[in-house]
Structure 1
Amino acid sequence: LVIERSRDAADPRNVKKNFGANAAYLKSVFQG
């Protein structure tokens, strides 16, 4: 599973935050 870096225009360089938010989102999606 490849998690893309979120393209948050307000925080484009905060990769760790964006990655974490994206991972949490995907987790919620897969859990239904």
Structure 2
Amino acid sequence: GFNKLAGLRAALTGGYVTDLILDEPTAHKLVASI
């Protein structure tokens, strides 16, 4: 929902998710969880 998307946006702004996205399975889980 919106809260997860907002949280993801905040995390991306924080930069730590950018590192996780380099791990492809993690990126797929992240996208699937939205």
Pick the TM interval, shorter chain: 0.3 to 0.5
TM-score normalized with structure 1 length: 0.46
TM-score normalized with structure 2 length: 0.43
Higher helix fraction (1 or 2):
2
Structure with greater Cα Rg = 1
